[in-house]
Chain A
Amino acid sequence: DVKVTQSSRYLVKRTGEKVFLECVQDMDHENMFWYRQDPGLGLRLIYFSYDVKMKEKGDIPEGYSVSREKKERFSLILESASTNQTSMYLCASRRDRGTYEQYFGPGTRLTVT
């Protein structure tokens, strides 16, 4: 059974704090993604990675960075959290060929106060 896990389900941080969100997949997938989901806006891509140490900006990378040192792990970093980064963050992974089905983690609901 495929599995994507995220380090926290709920997180509360203060403005200006550095925030780390971790994502781990056990399916040996090449591609990993970070999205945020806000009401009425759907899922928006922050960053993605095709392979270890590779990263590409998505649609809304400002205020975020990522790290992929190992194939199974993709981290999202908020360098200095702001209140407009309060959101649901979803990690996903998929193979780089085939059906392109994405498997999502359970999400992290981040609140920045």
Chain B
Amino acid sequence: RKEVEQDPGPFNVPEGATVAFNCTYSNSASQSFFWYRQDCRKEPKLLMSVYSSGNEDGRFTAQLNRASQYISLLIRDSKLSDSATYLCVVNSLNDMRFGAGTRLTVKP
């Protein structure tokens, strides 16, 4: 079993749609969690950290469920510019583990 698992997609959604990604992790001692965004042929960049209480940044909402060991990312009112691959990242004691990514394509 992979340490961090994501649905690879692709998710193809129309502009304005709401889309949600889930990510599960196997290490119950994991301490910090992130969502990164990676555009085609570019490096990953931090989208947002994920806090236990859940957090929101504009159209993006991230949630953590420690009991079930998953994190989620919700994107509301999708824009064409949201098209990218979204990487789930889980950190425990300096050991960062990356999911393989979920590809999102937002279409006009």
Chain B residues within 8 Å of chain A by Cβ, number? 19
Residues of B1-57 contacting chain A, CB below 8 A: 4, 8, 32, 34, 41-46, 49
A100-B91, A100-B96, A101-B49 known; A40 and B8 CB under 8 Å? yes
Q: Mark A91-113, 1 if CB is under 8 A from B, else 0.
A: 00000100111101111000000
Distance A100 CA – B42 CA, assembled complex (angstroms): 21
How close is A90's CB to chain B, nearest CB, in angstroms?
A: 6
Q: Given A40-B100, A42-B101, verify A90-B43 contact (CB < 8 Å).
A: yes
Known: A40-B8, A42-B87. A104 touches B45 (CB 8 A): yes
A16 to B84, CA, bound (A): 35
The docked-state distance in angstroms from the alpha carbon of A89 to that of B30 is: 26
Q: Is B98 part of the binding interface, using a Cβ–Cβ cutoff of 8 Å?
A: yes
Q: How large is the interface on A (under 10, 10 to 19, 20 to 34, 35 or more residues)?
A: 10 to 19
CB neighbours of B41 from chain A (8 A) = 107
Q: Is the CB–CB distance between B49 and A102 below 8 Å?
A: no
A105 contacts B43, CB within 8 Å?
yes
Is A12's beta carbon under 8 Å from chain B?
Answer: no
Once the chains are docked, how many angstroms separate the CA of A105 from the CA of B42? 9
Q: Which residues of A contact B91 (CB under 8 A)?
A: 100
A41-B100 in contact (CB<8A): yes
Chain A residues near B94 (CB-CB < 8 A): 31, 96, 100
- Which A residues lie at the B interface, using CB under 8 A? 31, 35, 40-43, 45, 90, 96, 99-102, 104-107
User: Could you name 29 residue pairs across A and B whose Cβ atoms are closer than 8 Å?
Assistant: A31-B94, A40-B8, A42-B4, A42-B87, A42-B98, A42-B99, A42-B100, A42-B101, A43-B87, A43-B98, A45-B96, A96-B94, A99-B32, A99-B49, A100-B32, A100-B91, A100-B94, A101-B46, A101-B49, A102-B46, A102-B96, A104-B43, A104-B44, A104-B45, A105-B43, A106-B42, A106-B43, A107-B41, A107-B42
